[in-house]
Chains A and B, each alone.
Chain A
Amino acid sequence: MRNGFQATDNSQPNGSEKQRKTHYSRLFRRFILLTIVCSLIPLLLVGWGINIHYTRFSNERMINAFQIQVEYHRKIIELFLKKHSSKLHLIAQSHPKDYLLSGSNLNNIFEILNREYRSFTDLGIIGADGYHLKYIGPYDLMPNNYADTFWFKEVMEKDLFISDMFMGFRKVPHFIIAVTRLEKGEKWILRATIETEVFRSLVENVRIGNTGEVYLLNTKGIFQTSPRFSGKIMDKAPTPIESFREGINVRIIEKHTDHHGKKYPRQIYSQTWLKDPPWLLVVKQNYDEAFSEVNHANYATLILLHLSALIILIVAVFITRHMISVIKNRDDEADKLNRQLLQTSKLASIGELSAGVAHEINNPLAIILTEKQILLDMTNDTAATTPEIKGQLSESLEQIDVQIKRCKRITHGLLRFSRRTQSVIETINTNQFISEVIELLEREAGSGGIKFFTDFEENLPNILSDPSQLQQVMLNLITNSIDAHDDKAYGSIHVRTRSNNQQGVEIVVADTGMGISPENMDKIFDPFFTTKPVGKGTGLGLSICYSTIKNLGGDISVWSEVGKGSEFKVFLPFSPPPHLLEGTADNPKDYQMDIATVSS
C-alpha cells in the first residue's frame, strides 16, 4: 500500500509544464495577431488610403500649376509677338509708302520704335517685286531681292508673317515680322527683324527650379530658343515633334535614354502650340524636383504612419507580455488551489471509505479479542496442560493481543482521520497548551537524547479552537519530530509561537532530524504515506493533522531539508469558521474520550 501511494502522480509536471508554455506562447501570438488585425491594419489602411488620395490630389495640383505656368508663358510670348506685329501694322497702315521712303522718316519711326527698349534690329520696306526700297539697320541689305524667299510669298498672301528663326543673309539666328499694305492697288511690305536677344531672353531667362527649362520649337522640330540643357538654338530637337493640337498638353515622361546615350530622369513635360507662328512652347522639369515638396510631405506622413504603427506594435507586445504574466500568475494560483482542493477531496473520499472499513473491522476485532481472552483464561485455569505448553500458548495469545492492538490503532487512526465531528470550541492559551503537550512527550523524547527548546511570544492572544483536536495535532507533529531523530543520537526540537498579522497565531515545530526528501514532500499529507518501518506508523498522523487544521480554519505548511531537519508551521485563526461555533454551548464539555487518543 505504501508503494502504491508513492507511485501515483509522478512524472507528469514536466509534460504539462511544456504544454502550458506552448499554451502561453500561443496566447501571446493570438493577442498580438488580434492587435494587428484590430488596430494596425485599419490604421495602415486608412493611412495608406489618405496618402494615396493626397498624393493624387497634390499631383493634380502640381500638374495644374504647371499648366498655368505654361499658359502664362505662352501668353507672354504671344503678347510679345502681337505687340510687335501690331506696331508694324500701325506704321504700315498709318503712313503711305512715299512718306516712309522719303528722307529720314523711316529712320525716325525706327528710333521711336526702339526708344523704350531695343526690340527691333532693323526695319525695311520691300516692294511688290521683292527689292528693298528702304532699309534701316546695321547690315547692308539694300541690294537684296527677297522675291524668292519663303517668307516673301507668304506675306504677300497673308498680310502678316512671322518667320521661324533662320540664319538668312546675316548668319545670325533671327526672325522677322512682315506686314503688307495695299496702297493704290499695289502691295508693299514693311519688314522688321526682332532683336533676337530680347526675344530669346523672354523665353530663355525663365528659370524653373534647378532642372526646369523652357524653349520653343518650330514645326520641323528646330529649337527657336536655346534650351537650358537639351540643345542649342537652330539645332534639331532630339524628340520628334507632334502635330498641332489645341490646348496645353501635360504628361510625365518616364526615365529614358536618347540616341546619343544621354540619360534623362523622369520628367514632367508640357507643351502647347502657339497660334502664329506655329511654334511649340515646351516647359519641362525633372519630376523629382517638381514634386519634391509633395514627395517630402508624403514621406513625412508615411514615416509618421509607420512609426506610430511600430509604436502600437511595441506597446501591444509589452501589454500582452504583462497580461500573459498576470494570467500565468492567476493560473498558478488556481492550480495551487486546485491541488489543495484535490488533496481535500482525496482526503474526504479516502476518509469515507476508511471509516466504513474501520467500523466493519472493529467488530471482528472485538470478537477475536474476547475469544483470545477466553482462551487465555482457559489456559490459566486448566491444570491439564504442561507449563511448557502453557507458556507457548500464552505467548501466542500475547502476540494476538499485540496484533489486535495494532489493528485497533489503525482503525482508530482511520476513524479519527475521517471524523466529521462536532468540535468543542474553547478558549485556549496557546503557550500554556503547548507546554502541556511538550510535558507529555518530554520523558519519551529525553530518553532518545532529544531536547526541547521553546520560544513563546509573550502575551500571545488566546484563540478559540478545539483543544482535543489541537492536542492531537500537536502530539502528532511532535511525535513525528521525535521520530525524525531515529538515526541520530541526539537532537533538538524547537517550538515557537508567534502572533500572525492580527489574524491568528502561528506555531512552528522545527526539528534537527533527517528531513523530508523533495520527492516525498508532495505526499506527506496523504493518508497511509509513511517512511517509518512497517508496523511503526500508520501513515495517518500528518493527514489527520492536515484535515484537522483545515477543519479548524487554519493552515499547515512544511519546510524541510534532507539531513538538516524539518519545520512544520501551523497557522490557527483567532476564531474558527462560524459553523464550528454553532451549538458549542449545549454540548457537554470536558469529557475526555478515550477513543480519540493515540495509543502509545
Chain B
Amino acid sequence: MQKGKILLVDDEVAFTTSMAKLLRAKGYQVTTAGTGKEAIGFLEAENFDVVVLDLKMPGMDGMATLIEIKKLKLHTETLILTGHGSIDLALESFNLGAYDFLTKPCALNDLLNKIEGAGKKKDVTEKRDLLDGMIRIKG
C-alpha cells in the first residue's frame, strides 16, 4: 500500500524527530520543518500529501503558516496538531481551511487515522480537479 508524503512542522525538534521516526516506521515519507518559513519552502519545492502543523511557533505561527499554505493553492491537506487546544482556535483553523484539529498529546492511532483521512481527501480533491480540468479542456 502506498503511503503518503508528510511534512511535520513543529518548533519542538525532539517532537518532530521522534514523530518522524514513528511515522517512517509506519511507512510514510516524512520531512520535518522547525519553522513556518521552512515549511513553506518545502511546500514550494515538493509535493506533500499532508502537512501536520503546530500552532504555537516562534516567528511565523501556525495560523500564519496555514494562511500561507492556502495561498499556494495546493491540494495538500493541513492537519493541526497543537498543545494549545481551544475551540476558538479550532474553529479559526477550520475557517482557514484546516482538515482537522488535534491536541497534543494524542494517541498515535488517532493521528494515523486523521493523516489517512487527510490523504484520502487530498486524493479525492486532486482527482476531481483533474477531472474538472479535463472536462474543461474537452469542452
Judge: A and B partners, yes or no: yes
Specify which of A374, A412, A419, A420 is in contact with B21 (CB 8 Å cutoff): A374
CB distance from A515 to the nearest CB of B (A): 35
Known: A362-B83, A588-B94. A374 touches B18 (CB 8 A): yes
Is the CB of B25 closer than 8 A to any CB of chain A?
yes
A366 in the interface (beta carbon within 8 A): yes
Q: Complex Cα distance A593/B106, Å?
A: 13
Cross-chain contact B83 with A587 (CB below 8 angstroms): no
Q: How far is the CA of A369 from the CA of B108 in the complex (A)?
A: 8
Q: How far is the CB of B39 from chain A (nearest CB, A)?
A: 18
**0/1 string, B27-53, CB within 8 A of A gives 1:** 000000000000000000000000000
A373 x B22 contact (CB < 8 A): yes
Contact (Cβ within 8 A) A365 B105: yes
> What is the 8 Å Cβ interface bit string for chain A, positions 580-594, against chain B (1 contact, 0 not)?
000000011001010
CB of B91 closer than 8 Å to a CB of A:
yes
Query: A367 to nearest B CB, angstroms?
Result: 5
- Is A370 a contact of B19 with CB atoms below 8 Å? yes
From residue B82, how far is it (CB to closest CB) to chain A in Å?
Answer: 8
- Taking the nearest CB of chain B, how far is it from the CB of A422, in angstroms? 6
Residues of B within 8 A of A363 (CB): 12, 15, 83, 104
Residues of chain B with a CB closer than 8 A to A373's CB: 22, 108
Contact call B22/A368, Cβ cutoff below 8 A? no
Give chain A residues whose Cβ lies under 8 Å from the Cβ of B137.
none
Cβ contacts under 8 Å, B12 to chain A:
363, 366-367
| Cβ–Cβ < 8 Å partners of A362 in chain B | 82-85, 103-105
Contact A595 B105 (CB under 8 A): no
Which residues of A in the span 391-421 have a Cβ within 8 Å of any Cβ on B?
404, 407-408, 412, 415, 419-421
Most buried by A among B22, B83, B87, B88: B87
Q: Which residues of B contact A412 (CB under 8 A)?
A: 85, 103
User: Within the complex, what minimum Cβ distance (angstroms) separates B115 from chain A?
Assistant: 14
Task: Classify the interface of chain A: helix, strand, loop or mixed.
Answer: helix
> Once the chains bind, are A595 and B85 in contact (CB under 8 Å)?
yes
Q: Does B56 interact with chain A (Cβ within 8 Å)? A: yes
For residue B60, CB closer than 8 A to chain A, the reply is no
Interface residues of A in 544-594 (CB under 8 A from B): 587-588, 591, 593
CA distance A420 to B90 in the complex (A): 13
Do the beta carbons of A370 and B83 come within 8 Å of each other?
no
Interface residue A20 (Cβ < 8 Å from any Cβ of B): no
Whether B103 pairs with A588 at a CB distance below 8 angstroms is no
In this complex, what residue of B is CB-closest to A411? B83
| Bound Cα distance A27, B123 (Å) | 81
The contact of A421 among B81, B88, B101, by CB within 8 Å, is: B88
* Residue A371 lies at the interface, judged by CB distance under 8 Å to chain B: yes
Interface residues of A in 336-361 (CB under 8 A from B): 359-361
A371 to B12 Cα, complex, angstroms: 13
State whether B103 touches A370 (Cβ < 8 A).
Answer: no
B15 and A374 contact, CB distance less than 8 A: no
Q: How far is the CB of B47 from chain A (nearest CB, A)?
A: 25
Task: Please determine whether B56 and A359 come into contact, CB atoms closer than 8 angstroms.
Answer: yes
Q: How many B residues touch the partner, as a band?
A: 20 to 34
Q: Which of B46-75 contact A (CB under 8 A)?
A: 56
Write out the residue numbers on chain A whose beta carbons fall within 8 Å of the beta carbon of B135. none
Alpha-carbon distance between A266 and B47 when the two chains are bound, in angstroms: 130
Cβ 8 A contact of A593, one of B81, B82, B83, B90: B90
Provide the bound-state CA to CA distance between A556 and B22, in Å: 47
- Chain B residues within 8 Å of A444, by CB: none
Measured in the bound complex, the distance between the Cα atoms of B84 and A595 in whole Å is 11
Q: Is A377 an interface residue (CB 8 A)?
A: yes
Instruction: Determine if B134 is an interface residue (Cβ-Cβ < 8 Å).
Output: no
Question: Is B86 part of the binding interface, using a Cβ–Cβ cutoff of 8 Å?
Answer: yes
Residues of A within 8 A of B83 (CB): 359-363, 365-366
Contact with A along B89-100 (1 / 0, CB 8 A): 011001000000
Q: Is B87 touching A596 in the complex (CB atoms < 8 A)?
A: yes
B1 CB within 8 Å of chain A = no
Give a binary string over B101-136; 1 marks a CB under 8 Å from any A CB, 0 the rest.
Answer: 101111110000000000000000000000000000
Q: How far is the CA of A588 from the CA of B101 in the complex (A)?
A: 14
- How far apart are the CA atoms of A369 and B18 in the complex, in Å? 10
* B88:A367 contact, CB within 8 angstroms: no
Produce 1/0 per residue, A415-433, CB < 8 A to B: 1000111100000000000
Contacts of A593 in B (CB 8 A): 87, 90, 101
- Closest A-chain residue to B25, C-beta based? A377
Q: Is A370 a contact partner of B108 (Cβ separation < 8 A)?
A: yes
CB pair B90–A595 under 8 Å, yes or no, is: yes
CB distance from B105 to the nearest CB of A (A): 4
B90 partner residues in chain A, CB cutoff 8 A? 591, 593, 595
Partner pick for B22 among A365, A377, A422, CB 8 A cutoff: A377
* Chain A contacts for B21, CB-based, 8 A: 370, 374
CB distance from A588 to the nearest CB of B (A): 6
Would A368 and B91 count as touching, CB distance under 8 A? no
A414 CB → nearest B CB, Å: 11
Instruction: Determine if B88 and A368 form an interchain contact, defined as CB atoms under 8 angstroms apart.
Output: no
- Measured between alpha carbons, how far is A155 from B82 in the docked complex, in Å? 147
Q: How far is the CA of A373 from the CA of B56 in the complex (A)?
A: 24
For the complex, give the distance between the alpha carbons of A560 and B19 in Å.
50
B86 & A367 in contact (Cβ 8 Å cutoff): no
Contact of B85 among A368, A415, A420 (CB under 8 A): A415
Interface pairs A-B: 3 shortest CB-CB: A362-B83, A366-B104, A365-B105
The chain B residues found within 8 Å of chain A, CB to CB, are 12, 14-15, 18-19, 21-22, 25, 56, 81-88, 90-91, 94, 101, 103-108
What are 21 of the A-B contact pairs (CB < 8 Å)?
A360-B83, A362-B83, A362-B104, A366-B12, A366-B81, A366-B83, A366-B104, A366-B106, A367-B18, A369-B105, A369-B106, A370-B18, A370-B19, A370-B108, A408-B105, A415-B86, A588-B91, A593-B101, A595-B85, A595-B87, A595-B103
Extra contacts, 15 of them, besides A359-B84, A369-B107, A369-B108 (Cβ < 8 A), are A366-B12, A366-B81, A366-B105, A369-B105, A370-B18, A371-B18, A374-B21, A377-B22, A407-B105, A408-B105, A420-B88, A421-B87, A422-B87, A595-B103, A596-B87
